[in-house]
Amino acid sequence: MDEVLRKVFDGIVNGDQDQVSENVQLALDEGTPPRNILNEGLISAMEEVGDLFERGEFYVPEMLIAARAMKSGLEILQPELMDDEVQAAGSVIIGTVQGDLHDIGKKLVAIMLEGAGFEVQDLGVDVPPEDFVQAIKNDQADIVALSALLTTTMAQMEATIQAIQEAGLRDRVKLMVGGAPVTEDFAQQIGADGFAPDASLAVKLAKSLVN
- Predicted pLDDT of residue 84: 78
Q: What CATH class is the domain 3-83? A: mainly alpha
CA distance 39 to 171: 30
- Predicted pLDDT of residue 24: 98
CA distance 33 to 84: 8
- Predicted pLDDT of residue 1: 76
pTM across the whole model? 0.85
CA distance 200 to 113: 9
Mean pLDDT of the 78-99 span: 89
| Cβ(12)–Cβ(66) below 8 Å | yes
What letters, b where the CB count within 10 A reaches 16 and e where it falls short, cover 28-56?
Answer: beeebebbebbebbbbbbbbbbbebbeee
- At the fourth CATH level, the homologous superfamily of domain 90-210 is Cobalamin-binding domain (3.40.50.280)
pLDDT band of 87, cuts 50, 70, 90? confident
pLDDT band of 203, cuts 50, 70, 90? very high
Lowest mean pLDDT among 24-33, 111-120, 123-132, 176-185: 111-120
- Kindly tell me the burial class for residue 160, based on how many C-beta atoms sit within 10 Å of its own C-beta (0-12, 13-18, 19 or more): buried
Q: Inform me whether the pLDDT recorded for 167 exceeds 90.
A: yes
| Gyration radius (Cα) of the chain, Å | 17
- Predicted pLDDT of residue 67: 92
Query: Which pLDDT tens digit goes with each residue over 5-56?
Result: 999 999 999 999 999 999 999 999 999 999 999 999 999 999 999 999 999 9
CA distance 56 to 62: 11
Give domain limits for the chain: 3-83, 90-210
The DSSP symbol for 61 reads H
> Which has more pLDDT, 88 or 52?
52
Q: Inform me whether the pLDDT recorded for 86 exceeds 80.
A: no
Q: What are the start-end ranges of the H helices in the chain?
A: 3-14, 17-29, 34-36, 44-54, 60-83, 104-115, 129-138, 154-166, 184-189, 199-210
- Predicted pLDDT of residue 81: 85
Order of strands, sheet of 90-96, starting from the edge strand that comes earlier in the sequence: 118-122, 90-96, 143-147, 174-178, 194-195
| Cβ(178)–Cβ(158) below 8 Å | no
- Predicted pLDDT of residue 49: 94
CA distance 30 to 171: 44
Q: Inform me whether the pLDDT recorded for 58 exceeds 90.
A: yes
Averaged pLDDT of the chain:
94
